[in-house]
Structure 1
Amino acid sequence: MLRPQAIGVFPGTAGFLMLPPVPEAQTLMPALLRGYLPERWPEEWEFFSLGVSGASVETILQAVPEGPEGIYNRFILQPEADVYGWARERLAGDYVLLLDAVAWQMGLCPEPPKLPEADGEIRAFVSAAQGYYAIHRGSWEAGLERLQAAAEAAEGVSPVFAARLYTEWAASKQMRGDDEEAVIAAYRKALDLMEGTAFGEVRAELWFQLGTAYQERADGRKGFLMKAMECYHEALKVFRRESHPDAYAMVHMNLALAYLAMPSTDRGSRLRAALAVQGLREALRIFQKDTHPDLWASATMNLANALQHVSTSHPEANLWEAVALYEEVMEVRREEDDPVGYARILANQGNALAHLGAFSRAVPRLEEARRRFLEHGEEDAAGAVDGILQEIRRLRQQSEGDAAAEKGEVRRGAP
């Protein structure tokens, strides 16, 4: 068997295919393992070229050469029970390990093979399958341990494969809210391993994921938010509106939220608020109500929130725009789907109306929000709404007192 193999390097079907030995292998393989395709493919590797380019299964099958790699590859291209049985009768050693690992992922055998004596990318491939198997059975700790072991096994021989495995490990830990420092370290290791490879989009995605990890850990701390923003700017070097519209919009939305989360005690807070509004408007050029309803609602809600805090020469216009945006969001975010979220929209809209002095419209929304918060055990949120209602009552009493005093002055001065 040719070693190392390019398994796990390329996305899709090509990431499972095996390459047969050829005289040029030692020259071509280092670049291929980093994602760089040769200008001239050996004839025996033409099928792999077709797989990377996304050719049809029928076209790739016609180019698959004979030999053990060919038997294995035919199963990859036709992952059916009879082809699996046919291939297993004809293969041995590491070929069977890889075959069984893929067969488990395809649902054709009950579990992946045991941890092999093999090393490098072969050990990593099987260990990763064991990790997925453990996670599938609910054993998250064991599964994540196997994924980490898989990444470590691949690191010295197949950096892109190792980076992908570290990324999966970090993303799984991040999803569970586990060990934020380790998550950040894993994303950074994956970025280092991806340095100098052909996978610029993967690196951009990693920068974005690292940014989210810093942002989740920030809790208002400026240093972590600054790191998150640096990561998002790195991602935007690749994610352009024309080429990657959805990713571009998502990065702009997260970047805006990072600006808004920064402490507002320094002189840069006004600029950051303005940049946040600009970023959210940019995201909404992509996230439309009819094409991305959930993302549109999130971006629109965040824009409305930002407009309440941005310092401009026309604050009333911003507040009225925020009121209208909240109204639009309530057409998408239904109360029955997320009653607490719906209450937040009501509270934010009521707050904007209160700042505008439209108390008769603000109070019903705020009272409704308060009631819903209390119904769902959100005492702190209800308390915040109470504070706004108390301030409205104070302002109304003050206004009534001023009006009465003015009327008294007029009466006393009347002829």
Structure 2
Amino acid sequence: MAETTSMAIIAPAQLATRPQPVGAFPLPAGYLLVPAGADTEDARLTLLAGREPAPWPARMRAHELALSGDRDAALAALTGGDVVTRYNRFVLDPDGVADLDALRADLGELGPLVDVLEFVLGRSDTPPERGDTDGEIAALVLSAQAADALGRDEPAAAVALLDEAAELAPAQPLAGLLLGAAASVCLENDGLGDGATPRLEKALKALDGADGLRVGRAELHLALAGALHAQGTERPDLVAKAIPHYHSTLQLILRAEAPDMWAAAHSDLAAAYLTMPMIEASDQLRLGVAVQSLRSALKVYTPETHPERWASTQLNLANSLVYTPSKHQADNLVEAVEIYEAVLEMRDRETDPLGRARVLANQGNALAHLGMFDPAKAKLYEARFLFEEFGDHSSMRSVRGVLDEVARQQTLIKTQEQP
């Protein structure tokens, strides 16, 4: 239904107290304005802090419904004719607005939010202008401009705009999310990666206590864990620093609400544990934890939905089963052999010969541990041939070593069997 414009306009400053909690929560709820009033003030401050009001004031029933995902009911709850209500109806139903220019003008200093939303929703290709905006409005304008810079393949400009937006944001949670966005751009673009870790650390401090933004915080913890983990080759101590952030990710989210992130945290946590050196006997407990995390990740990863992640997680699980001390070592080895066989179906000789060779080598090693020497040799010979064909001499020598050990074991068995 088109919006009517015949109603009296009240100055927006009287209807919406700034700063407004816009930009931190997901769309559409995250762009709704909070109407001014003694009954809504505590809720405004709570939302600014990144938390959900409890209870919600009656005049913010639409906000509550929108945040729970019930857009239609939220729209039905907006029955007033003031400019804030009109704007909130626009957020929930952009096609229902007949005159955007009138809405923008009636909103006064809040008017640029119309242009921000139009750009964010993809209804306009032109990013909003900064003009004389300030505070949270300026921060959202700059954030939209950063998205435009990314679209023009200018990541450095996008990072600078997001950094400036974070400085202007009056509320810490919004500033934290903007810094997190800047860090993500750094991670995804060569030459900017060094700036990711300090931004992520600062972002997480800004979001501390923002319980209503659990998913956003979890994403930042996972990104920081990944950034630290990636540097572990040169600085192994950073892998240990990454692990608490993987755990924080898993403490903040449930599988049902963010399955991909939950699975990635489990899978990457296991990988971190598996790469850490085993110094003390108690360190072997990490292998058991890694196995459980890998099994958890495989509740989400399947060959159909996540073929690459499924294959790499399965490989890590099989490798862990081979080397994790257990009273059921033989059962673990049999399971590992079966997992390797399943992964081989994904590792085609034509498209990924070296990947196939590595799986064959691992499977051959597991078969050898089970005493199944003839099947082990068949797998190892194929692996050695592939490594030799593609010039991986180090791996070829490793496979030869396993084959030599298999030969020694077979000779020893024959000697023991002789009368």
Report the TM range for the smaller structure's normalisation.
0.7 to 0.9
Matches of 1:406 and 1:25 in 2, distance apart?
Answer: 86
Q: Is the 8 A contact 1:41 1:49 kept in 2?
A: no
Gaps of 5+ in 1: 411-415
Which residue of structure 2 lines up, in the alignment, with residue 385 of structure 1?
395
Q: Is the 8 A contact 1:72 1:95 kept in 2?
A: no
Within 5 Å, which residues of 2 pair with 1:296-335? 296-312=310-326, 315-334=329-348
Q: Is the 8 A contact 1:220 1:261 kept in 2?
A: no
Matches of 1:177 and 1:266 in 2, distance apart?
Answer: 38
* 1:41 and 2:54 correspond: no
Which residue of structure 2 lines up, in the alignment, with residue 256 of structure 1?
270
* 1:104 and 2:119 correspond: yes
Matches of 1:11 and 1:107 in 2, distance apart?
Answer: 16
Which residue of structure 2 lines up, in the alignment, with residue 199 of structure 1?
212
Amino acid at match of 1:273: L
* 1:233 and 2:243 correspond: no
Secondary structure class of the residue paired with 2:129 = coil
Secondary structure class of the residue paired with 1:326 = helix
| Structure 1 residues 99 and 325: alpha-carbon distance in aligned structure 2, compared to 1, 3 A threshold | same
Secondary structure class of the residue paired with 1:138 = coil
Q: Paired residue for 1:21, among 32, 36, 44?
A: 36
Moved more, 172-181 or 261-270: 172-181
Q: Alpha-carbon deviation of 1:260?
A: 0.7
Which residue of structure 1 lines up, in the alignment, with residue 10 of structure 2?
none
Matches of 2:364 and 2:151 in 1, distance apart?
Answer: 45
Within 5 Å, which residues of 2 pair with 1:20-99? 20-24=35-39, 26-34=41-49, 35-37=51-53, 39-41=55-57, 43=59, 45-57=60-72, 59-61=74-76, 63-80=78-95, 83=97, 86-92=99-105, 93-99=108-114
* 1:172 and 2:185 correspond: yes
Which residue of structure 2 lines up, in the alignment, with residue 189 of structure 1?
202
**TM-score under structure 2 normalisation?**
0.81
Amino acid at match of 1:225: V
Q: Alpha-carbon deviation of 1:123?
A: 0.6
**TM-score under structure 1 normalisation?**
0.81
| Structure 1 residues 180 and 309: alpha-carbon distance in aligned structure 2, compared to 1, 3 A threshold | farther
Matches of 2:103 and 2:410 in 1, distance apart?
Answer: 93
Q: Is the 8 A contact 2:43 2:57 kept in 1?
A: no
Amino acid at match of 1:54: G
Q: Is the 8 A contact 2:186 2:192 kept in 1?
A: yes
Q: Is the 8 A contact 1:7 1:15 kept in 2?
A: yes
Q: Paired residue for 1:6, among 6, 21, 42?
A: 21
| Structure 1 residues 32 and 368: alpha-carbon distance in aligned structure 2, compared to 1, 3 A threshold | same
Q: Alpha-carbon deviation of 1:150?
A: 1.4
Q: Is the 8 A contact 1:68 1:95 kept in 2?
A: no
Q: Is the 8 A contact 1:162 1:193 kept in 2?
A: yes
Q: Paired residue for 1:116, among 128, 131, 156?
A: 131
Q: Is the 8 A contact 1:6 1:32 kept in 2?
A: yes
Overall identity of the aligned pairs, in %: 34
Amino acid at match of 2:201: R
Deviations 1:103-145 (A, max 9, x none): 1233333311223322111011000000001101211111122
Which residue of structure 1 lines up, in the alignment, with residue 4 of structure 2?
none
Secondary structure class of the residue paired with 2:99 = helix
Q: Is the 8 A contact 2:62 2:78 kept in 1?
A: yes
Amino acid at match of 2:233: D
Q: Paired residue for 2:225, among 203, 211, 221?
A: 211
Matches of 1:329 and 1:36 in 2, distance apart?
Answer: 45
Amino acid at match of 2:195: A
| Structure 1 residues 176 and 368: alpha-carbon distance in aligned structure 2, compared to 1, 3 A threshold | farther
Secondary structure class of the residue paired with 1:12 = coil
* 1:128 and 2:143 correspond: yes
Gaps of 5+ in 2: 1-12
Secondary structure class of the residue paired with 1:91 = helix
Count of aligned pairs between the two proteins: 400
Which residue of structure 2 lines up, in the alignment, with residue 413 of structure 1?
none
